[in-house]
Chains A and B, each alone.
Chain A
Amino acid sequence: MPTSIVEVRNLTKRFGEFTAVDGVSFEIRQGEILGLLGPNGAGKTTTIQMLLGLITPTAGSIRMFGLDLATHRETILGQINFSSTYISMPYSLTVEENLWVVAKLYGLTNIPRHIDEVVKKLEMEEFRSKVTRKLSSGQMTRLTLAKAILTEPKVLFLDEPTASLDPDIAHKTRHLLKEVRRSAGLSMLYTSHNMREMEEMSDRIIFLQRGKIVTQGTAQEIMARFGQSDLEDVFLKIAREK
């Protein structure tokens, strides 16, 4: 049984009276892709932001690589990275300059080699010298993915990583992520509103609704549990439950 890289226990976040995440517990094993599914406002992004140390939990614990995030922030954050459609990169810098800054921030050595590799992997050669402001949304998504992979993390948090990519690049990106997972034993937490993608990418899925885990398991287990043949139907059923 692969060891757990991420262990989340009774994670809770309250903003005043509103509970965004309510006693969530899960783990991510070495090399596993865990899908986080749920309607808007279910608590997915808040959960990821707590895992990234950007929001302090109200209760519960987050451990990664056997260390507590609250007390080993620097060590843990140096070994993880993230990509999200909701973030950007400095617009006035070129793609290459942005990647250089990220590499330096994470203390990489031989930075040009790392940049060349990631640029090649994500087919970014044609726009590596372009100012970020001039990138298309698809190119921008590839850049945020590149910055996430560049630092050779052990865990990757991906919040809708293919949301603005065309089917061809989205397919290549998924292929790349699976390849990175296979070659580097990378663990991932993955969110998407594309059910086929979730099914394709995730080893296990956690379904969040109003901050709580309502079901979890493989896509097949979840579909069987809800008597549906499609993950999207499960999503609709759960999302529409009062």
Chain B
Amino acid sequence: MKLHRIVALITRHLYLYRRSLPRMMEIFYWPFLDLVVWGFITIYLMRFQGQLPGVVTFFLGALILWDVLFRAQQGITISFLEEIWARNLMNLFASPLKPSEFLAATMALSVFKVTAVSIVMVVAALVFYSYNLFLIGLWLIPFVLNLIVAGWTIGVLTTSLIMRFGQEAEVLAWGMVFLFQPISCVFYPIEVLPRWLQAVAWANPAAHVFEGMRLVLNQAALPLMHLAWATGLNLLYLALMVGWFHHTFSICKERGLLVRVGE
């Protein structure tokens, strides 16, 4: 891997944000609106605080952490779509840029996006709802890292599908992540799910993160087992997805799809 090629791609995408209002909205406007709506729902639910202890910390914390996963996924997939929209894929892949460098750059961009969005949401939650995400404490760090990696995995999967099936599959960039939301148990505990779906959810690293978060907030136990599972599953899935991305890239070159992906 060559750092200058990764830097080139990162810079190319950062230039986009300098003069693009819609792209800035992606960072400030939507996450902020999300927080406002869920903030009001939380205020309403606080009336039932007796029946639902810790509702504020659960909901707003979960919302911010879910956005970490969502933006990490978008950071990868939207960066790929940007290249399709700009008809720039040929320029990139006819250069010495390797697919692994492309992925590395998009992963770095997703960290940039996650950081920007998280700052907006954390500050807004503090200002408008007096909610401090850092109540979760140092556990927040491994939780966030795991959610970023989970977002990358879904991002690489989605990007591979768009590369393989063309621009008509671009709707997956926004929809795919929500396929994983019910089994990520973001806003409810895993025991709410039917038993068969619980088994599926346990195979999802994000579910372990959100279960772990609830454990910390309830001060019930240390979430070490959940973190171990989340990390192990994340590393396994990410390795598989990166391998699949390379395989899809070869198939696309074989079938001439790479040069037609934007058509």
List A residues at the B interface (Cβ < 8 Å).
Answer: 13, 15, 46, 49, 52-56, 73-75, 77-78, 81-82, 84, 87-93, 97, 100-102, 104-107, 131, 147
Contact B4 A107 (CB under 8 A): yes
A71 vs B94: C-alpha distance when bound (angstroms): 15
Which residues does chain A contribute within 8 Å of B8, judged by CB atoms? 101-102, 104-105
Complex partner residue of B95 from A49, A89, A91, A105, CB under 8 angstroms: A105
Which A residues lie within 8 Å of B86 (CB)?
Answer: 88-92
19 examples of A-B residue contacts, CB within 8 angstroms: A15-B255, A52-B94, A53-B253, A54-B94, A74-B98, A75-B96, A82-B94, A84-B90, A88-B88, A89-B86, A92-B86, A97-B12, A101-B15, A104-B4, A104-B7, A104-B11, A105-B5, A105-B92, A105-B95
Residues of A with C-beta under 8 A to B92: 105
- With beta carbons under 8 angstroms apart, the residue of B20, B87, B96, B258 that contacts A77 is B96
Interface of A is mostly: mixed
A77-B15 contact in complex given A49-B256, A90-B88, A91-B86, C-beta closer than 8 Å:
no
User: Please, how many angstroms separate the alpha-carbon atoms of A46 and B255 in the complex?
Assistant: 11
The answer, yes or no, to whether B40 is at the interface (CB within 8 Å) is: no
Interface: B148 (CB within 8 A): no
**Are B12 and A101 interface neighbours, CB within 8 A?**
yes
Could you tell me if A54 and B90 are in contact, using CB atoms closer than 8 angstroms? yes
Whether the Cβ atoms of A55 and B253 lie closer than 8 Å is yes
Would you call B94 and A92 a contact (CB within 8 A)?
A: no
Q: Nearest Cβ in chain A — how far from B226, in angstroms?
A: 41
A13 to B4, CA, bound (A): 33
Q: Does B91 contact A (CB under 8 A)?
A: yes
Q: For A52, give the chain B residue with the smallest CB separation.
A: B94
Q: How large is the interface on B (under 10, 10 to 19, 20 to 34, 35 or more residues)?
A: 20 to 34
The minimal Cβ–Cβ distance linking A98 to chain B, given in whole angstroms, is: 8
With a CB–CB cut-off of 8 A, which chain A residues contact B4?
Answer: 104-105, 107
**Contact of A147 with B94 at beta-carbon distance under 8 Å, contacts A15-B255, A92-B19 already known:** no
CA distance A131 to B18 in the complex (A): 12
16 new A-B contacts, CB < 8 A, other than A54-B258, A97-B12, A105-B97, are A15-B256, A46-B256, A49-B256, A77-B96, A78-B95, A82-B94, A88-B86, A90-B12, A90-B15, A92-B16, A92-B20, A93-B16, A101-B15, A102-B8, A105-B5, A105-B9
Interface residues of B in 15-46 (CB under 8 A from A): 15-16, 19-20
Whether a CB of chain A sits under 8 angstroms from the CB of B195 is: no
Give CA–CA (A13, B94) in the complex, Å.
18
Which residue of B is nearest A107, CB measured? B4
- B residues neighboring A (CB under 8 Å): 2, 4-5, 7-9, 11-12, 15-16, 19-20, 82, 86-88, 90-98, 250, 253-256, 258-259
- Taking a contact as CB atoms under 8 Å apart, the answer to whether A87 and B91 are in contact is yes
The complex places the Cα of A99 from the Cα of B263 at a distance, in Å, of: 25
Contact of A55 with B96 at beta-carbon distance under 8 Å, contacts A88-B88, A90-B16, A91-B86 already known: no
Q: Of B15, B86, B95, which is in contact with the most chain A CB atoms at under 10 Å from its CB?
A: B95
Q: When chains A and B are docked, how far (Å) is the Cα of A75 from the Cα of B96?
A: 7
The docked-state distance in angstroms from the alpha carbon of A74 to that of B98 is 8
A55-B259, A90-B16, A90-B86 given; A147·B91 CB < 8 A: yes
Task: Give the residues in chain A near B256, CB-CB below 8 Å.
Answer: 13, 15, 46, 49, 55
- Within the complex, what minimum Cβ distance (angstroms) separates A58 from chain B? 8
Chain A contacts for B93, CB-based, 8 A: 53-54
Give the shortest distance, in Å, between B105 (CB) and chain A (any CB). Answer: 10
Query: Which residues of A are found within 8 Å of B97, using beta-carbon distances?
Result: 105
Instruction: Return chain B residues, CB-CB under 8 Å to A105.
Output: 4-5, 8-9, 92, 95-97
Q: Which residues of A contact B98 (CB under 8 A)?
A: 74
Residue of B nearest to A76 (CB): B96
Question: Once the chains are docked, how many angstroms separate the CA of A89 from the CA of B97?
Answer: 16
In the assembly, what is the distance between CA of A88 and CA of B94, in Å? 13
Q: Is the CB of B253 within 8 A of A77?
A: no
